[in-house]
């Protein structure tokens, strides 16, 4: 028995037998196209950075998975995930259409609010009140999805001729700063991304009015794992690792590093137990 134990030890030392932890890992690089979303995901040319890539890359080094990040527009990203051309959809709210294409791992609770600039108007307390205020011009970001009531709002505002859809938060924030539109709906995290790098919009950062809407619920935000492109073993490994990282506080600690308390208070809170 001693001789056998000695031989096994020698084999381990020389790398001929790997312990279970070292043998674990993804079967191939994981393809993650990602769209800009505040400091959560940043795109600079072909480089993708921000909070989610940082946490995921650290997680990958522990479980033996490599993530290949590529920049893509938000609307394009949605279609890629639905077709199985993306292994993961990050910084995503949980919605039924996405549930058919992927397994959702919740990371935080999030809520979009009504945002405006230099505003002394009467408050708007719900999406229904917004529909009843025809003087308010609205700009929204194409590809953002805050649930079925939000999608119904888009259709109704479009029918009223009051809606502009844009490809990126930076275009919406610029329209607000220049008085082209009056309000938008998104999370403060997304709105902050639209303020950065443009003097015309950075100047309005301390003039933004945020109004929670009674019929805009808190939603779970997190990461989808593709049912179409990932094999079952890779998907299970990633789901387990992500779930554990949420439970041990890794993701909430990362949000606190990247965002100020003021930004977090209106739109973000640690994940609650499933309701």
Query: Domain of 197: which CATH number?
Result: 3.40.190.10
- Report yes or no on 117 lying in a domain: yes
The reply to whether 97 and 142 lie within a common domain is: no
Q: What is the pLDDT of residue 11?
A: 41
274 three-state secondary structure? coil
Instruction: Give the single-character DSSP code of 29.
Output: P
Q: Do residues 106 and 129 share a domain?
A: no
Token output for 157: 């505002």
Q: Is 45 left (phi over 0), alpha (psi -120 to 50) or beta?
A: left
Q: Say if residue 223 is in the same domain as residue 90.
A: yes
138 φ/ψ sector (left φ>0, alpha ψ -120 to 50, else beta): beta
Q: What is the pLDDT of residues 134-189, one digit of tens each?
A: 999 999 998 888 888 999 999 999 999 999 999 888 889 899 989 999 999 998 87
Domain boundary among 211, 233, 250: 211
| 240 and 152 belong to one structural domain | no
Q: Is the pLDDT of residue 9 over 50?
A: no
H helix count then E strand count, the chain: 13, 13
The parent domain of residue 186 ranges over 113-211
> Which has the closest alpha carbon to 167: 48, 77, 92, 74?
74
Q: Is the pLDDT of residue 196 over 70?
A: no
Mean per-residue pLDDT, 218-241: 96
Are 125 and 258 in a shared domain? Answer: no
- From 176, 211, 246, give the residue that closes a domain: 211
Dmax (CA) for the chain in angstroms is 86
Mean pLDDT of the region 82-106: 94
170 token code pair:
């930076």
Q: In the numeric block, which tokens belong to residue 209?
A: 């009015």
**Is 75 domain-assigned?**
yes
Q: Residue 104: how many CA atoms within 13 Å on its side-chain side?
A: 19
User: Would you say residue 16 lies in a domain?
Assistant: no
Let me know if residue 5 belongs to a domain.
no
Instruction: Identify the pLDDT of residue 273.
Output: 52
Q: Tell which wins on pLDDT, 92 or 13.
A: 92
> Is residue 10 a part of any domain in this protein?
no
In the prediction, which pLDDT does 187 show?
Answer: 87
Q: Please report which confidence band the pLDDT of residue 133 belongs to, taking 50, 70 and 90 as the band edges.
A: very high
Report whether 189 contacts 37 (CB < 8 A): yes
3-state secondary structure of 216: coil
Q: Of 211, 229, 254, which residue is a domain's last?
A: 211
Of 260 and 163, the one with more pLDDT: 163
**Looking at the 3D structure of the chain, how many domains does it have?**
2
Give the global pTM: 0.76
Do 223 and 105 share a domain, yes or no? Answer: yes
In the structure, what pLDDT confidence band is assigned to residue 262 with cuts at 50, 70 and 90? confident
Q: Which helix (H) or strand (E) holds 264?
A: helix 261-267
**Residues 207, 190: one domain?**
yes
**How many other CB atoms are there within 10 angstroms of residue 259's CB atom?**
20
The DSSP symbol for 168 reads S
Supply the pLDDT for residue 96: 87
230 and 94 inside one domain: yes
The model's pLDDT over 26-81, given as tens digits with 9 standing for 90+, comes to: 999 999 999 887 788 888 888 999 999 999 999 999 999 999 999 998 778 999 99
Q: Is the pLDDT of residue 274 over 70?
A: no
Q: Residue 14 falls within a domain, yes or no?
A: no
With a cut of 60, say whether residue 106 has pLDDT above it.
Answer: yes
178 and 257 together in one domain: no
pLDDT of residue 144: 86
Within a domain: residue 160?
yes
Together in a domain, 121 and 149: yes
Mean pLDDT of the chain: 86
Do 75 and 163 belong together in one domain? no
Residue 98 pLDDT class (50, 70, 90 cuts): very high
Residues 122 and 82 both lie in one domain: no
Cβ–Cβ < 8 Å for 132, 168: no
Q: Is there a domain that residue 183 lies in?
A: yes
């Amino acid at each position: 028995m001693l001789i056998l134990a000695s031989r096994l030890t020698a084999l381990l030392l020389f790398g001929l037998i790997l312990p279970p932890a070292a043998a674990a890992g993804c079967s191939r690089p994981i393809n993650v196209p990602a769209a800009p979303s505040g400091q959560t995901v940043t795109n600079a040319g072909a480089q993708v950075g921000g909070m989610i890539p940082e946490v995921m890359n650290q997680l990958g080094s522990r479980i033996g998975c490599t993530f290949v990040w590529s920049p893509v527009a938000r609307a394009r990203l949605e279609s890629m995930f639905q077709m199985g051309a993306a292994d993961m959809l990050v910084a995503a709210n949980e919605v039924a259409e996405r549930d058919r294409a992927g397994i959702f791992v919740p990371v935080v609770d999030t809520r979009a609010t009504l945002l405006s600039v230099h505003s002394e108007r009467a408050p708007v307390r719900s999406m229904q009140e917004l529909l009843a205020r025809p003087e308010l011009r609205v700009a929204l970001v194409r590809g953002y999805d805050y649930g079925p009531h939000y999608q119904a709002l888009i259709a109704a505002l479009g029918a009223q001729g009051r809606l502009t859809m844009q490809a990126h938060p930076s275009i919406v924030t610029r329209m607000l700063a220049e008085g082209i539109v009056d309000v938008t709906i998104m999370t403060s995290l997304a709105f902050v991304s639209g303020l950065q790098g443009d003097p015309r919009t950075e100047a309005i950062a301390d003039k933004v009015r945020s109004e929670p809407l009674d019929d805009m619920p808190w939603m779970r935000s997190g990461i989808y794992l593709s049912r179409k492109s990932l094999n079952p073993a890779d998907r299970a490994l990633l789901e387990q690792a992500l779930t554990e990282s949420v439970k041990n506080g890794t993701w909430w600690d990362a949000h606190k590093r990247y965002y100020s308390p003021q930004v977090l208070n209106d739109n973000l809170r640690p994940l609650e137990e499933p309701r």
